[in-house]
Structure formats: structure tokens, C-alpha cells
Amino acid sequence: MERPHWSNQVKLVVSLLLLALFVYLLTRFRLAIPPLIIATILAYVLTPLVNLFQRKLHVPRPVAIILCFILVLIIIATLPAGLIPLLGSQFSNLNLDIQRFIQNLRNILGHTYSFAGISINVDALLQQFSVSLQNFLEPVIGQTLTVIVDLLTSLVKLILIFVVTFYFIQDSDKFNRWIEEHIPAAYLSDYLRLRENINTIWSSFFRGQLLLALVVSIIITSVGFLIGLPFALAFGVLAGLLEFLPSVGHGIWLTLASIIALFLGSTWLPVPNWVFMLIILGLHFIFEQFDLNYLIPRIIGRSVRLSPLVVILGIFAGALLAGILGIFLAAPTIASARVIGRYIYANLFDMEPFPFNPTPPLPPPNPRWWKKVNKQERGT
């Protein structure tokens, strides 16, 4: 006797129940989501290096993963040894200069001003702000026990991240094959195309963005030292980090650099501060064109290029939903949602979802799965 199929109503109810269960699990275990996301990102970034070790050294995959972890830990341990003291010195000097600037501002504004019969004591307002800030920081600094607990929690999360990353890298091929085997044969080609497009986006964003951040940091630091930009190394590192915020990072960097240039001037160029600020603006405009039209297309490609307004809205939404991690992942998430949304829109209106993308070759499957695909293609 032929097994009866589920009706559309049953399928709908089961799908809604599964969706409700998924949402419940997300809310119930939301604290575990950020470490899992970080582990997924690390696995995605480190997989090519693991594959290289496995291919060149002819070692088992677990050994290649451990070697990759050791290399990453060595880089994390040795790179800050030379970089952090320089950055610490520059940020310390920057803090002193900001304090001097605030003191000068208080000297200028430390008078009582009258507007339409209303007297405003600016110095009293600044003093009240300083007292409020101090009252806010004192309990934060005094919570030593809380800091220790947070450090232990962070250590546990770090261990969890490395363990999950290890198994993500080791079993990534098995996981991909498992998904392919459970995709209906009629939709396998669409799944492979969607996976290819989304993989291009995230690969470009993470692997390409790391290289782009390094290149931008070197360029900005070198130019900063040449023109006498105060805290050139700090601004170079900041420029590299802000490359992870497409369309927004340039504006943030330029605002900070312009303020420093206007109030501190160049360390050796004999020009007024306002002229030095104009030099910063001009050089940044040239660099921005070079970055947008040469570096980004060649290092990252155009798969993550989004409208500045979309990026800004995405960053705000990401900050509200997931904090710093949401800000960092806003651009590739929106770009991936654009790919999926285009596919859904095309299917809703019976359009071709991949008009310009060639069909990717099917991966070598197991015999049972391949037989199912062949039967679908023959229409039997």
C-alpha cells in the first residue's frame, strides 16, 4: 500500500511549529549565539590555510587544523609585542593632548554668558559634567569581582570558540554533502548557485577585507608620517579597522583626522593648522578614489558594494540587534539578504532568478543521490 502524503495544511502546520521551535531556541540560548558566530567566521577564514597545510605537508586534517591554530596564536602573541607599546604611547599622548584641549576650551568658555536675559555659566556646566562622569566611572572601576568573573567567562567562551571552530573546519565537507543530499533534486541547482553567490560575498568580506585593512593601514601610516600627521600609526591602524565599515569608515576617519589636524597641526610642516586640515581633506579625497576604484574592486570585488544609506541603516540595526558583532557583520549580511531576496522575488513573479550566472558544476555525490538527480533530469 502506498504511503499517504502530507496535505498542504499539515505541511504548513509542521513548518510553523518548526519555525516557532527555532525562534524559541534562539531566544533561550541567545548567549551562545555570538561565540558560535565567531567560531563560524574563524572556520570560514582559516579553512583555506588548513587546506594548504594539509596539501603541502601531507598531514591529516586534524593535525593541519592544530598547526593552523598554533600559527594564529603565535601571530596573536608576537604581533602586539611590537605594535601595542607604540600604539599605547601614541594613545597616551593623544589623551594628554585632548585633556589640554579641553582645558583650553574651559579657559575660553569659562565665563558667564547672557542671552535674552538668561545667564549661562559654561564653566559650571562643564564642572557638573566632569563630576557626573566621575560618579559614573567610580563604580565601574571598583567592581573588581565582576571583572574577574567576566574574565573567567570570556576564557570559557574563548575555549568554546576554538573547540567549535576545530570541528567546523574538520567536518565542513561532510556537512556540505549532508545538506546537498537532503535538497530536493529539482532545487539542487538553485541551492548551489545561491551558495556560490553567498560564499563569494562572505569570502570577499572576510578574507579580502583582512588584506585590504592591512594595505590601507600601511598606506595611511606611511602618508601620515610623511606629512607629519600626529599619531600617524594610531590613525593608520584605525583606518584599517574602519575598512570593515564600507561607505561609513572613511567618513569617521576623516572627521577624527580633521579635528586633530585643526587643533594640533602638523608635527613638522610649517603651515597653519587650518591649511594642514585642508591638506588632510585633499589627500583623503585622492585616497578615497584610489580605494573605491582600485583597491576594493581588485581585493574584494563588487559583491559587497552597497548604498551608503543601506550600510548606515544596516549598522544601526546590527548595533541594536547584536551590538559590536552586529555592526561588524552588517554589510555582508545585507548583501547576502539581497541575493536571497532577489531569488525569492524572481520566483514569486515567475522570473529567472539567475539570469547572468552560469550553472556551477555539480559536486561528486554518492551513488544514491546521483541516481535521484538523473531520474529527475529524465523526467521519470
Report DSSP letters for 221-250, one per residue: HHHHHHHT-TTHHHHHHHHHHHTTSTTTHH
Asked whether residue 140 carries a pLDDT value surpassing 50, the answer given is no
Q: Over pLDDT 90: what percentage of the chain?
A: 5
Cα separation, 79 vs 76, whole angstroms: 6
Cβ-count burial 17-49 (b if 16+ within 10 Å, e if not):
eeeeeeeeeeeeeeeeebbebbbebbbbbbbeb
> How many other C-beta atoms lie within 10 A of the C-beta of residue 246?
26
Asked whether residue 112 carries a pLDDT value surpassing 60, the answer given is no
The domain spans of the chain are 30-76+123-170, 184-380
pTM (2 d.p.):
0.63
Residue 282: predicted pLDDT: 92
Residues ≥6 apart with Cβ < 8 Å to 181: 365, 366, 368, 369
Asked whether residue 373 carries a pLDDT value surpassing 50, the answer given is no
Cβ-count burial 94-124 (b if 16+ within 10 Å, e if not):
beeeeeeeeeeeeeeeeeeeeeeeeeeeeee
Cα separation, 97 vs 90, whole angstroms: 10
Q: What is the pLDDT of residues 165-176, one digit of tens each?
A: 888 888 888 888
* DSSP helix/strand/coil, 350: coil
C-alpha dist (Å) from residue 135 to 225, 258, 376: 39, 32, 71
Task: List beta partners, residue 114.
Answer: 119
96 pLDDT tier (thresholds 50, 70, 90): low
Residue 92 has which C-alpha cell? 597616551
Asked whether residue 159 carries a pLDDT value surpassing 70, the answer given is yes
Q: What is the pLDDT of residues 199-236, one digit of tens each?
A: 888 877 777 778 888 899 999 989 988 988 888 888 88
Strands of 4-143, DSSP E: 112-115, 118-121
Cβ-count burial 2-14 (b if 16+ within 10 Å, e if not):
eeeeeeeeeeeee
- What residue has cell string 594613545? 91
Residue 20: predicted pLDDT: 92
Q: What is the pLDDT of residues 285-320, one digit of tens each?
A: 998 888 878 887 777 666 566 677 777 777 778 777
Least confident of 244-258, 276-290, 344-358: 344-358
Residue 85 has which C-alpha cell? 607599546
Asked whether residue 143 carries a pLDDT value surpassing 60, the answer given is no
- What φ, ψ does residue 7 adopt, rounded to 5°? -75, 165
Rounded to 5°, angle at Cα 145 from 142 and 146: 85
- What φ, ψ does residue 353 adopt, rounded to 5°? -75, -20
Residue 137: predicted pLDDT: 46
Least confident of 83-97, 159-173, 189-203: 83-97
Cα separation, 145 vs 127, whole angstroms: 31
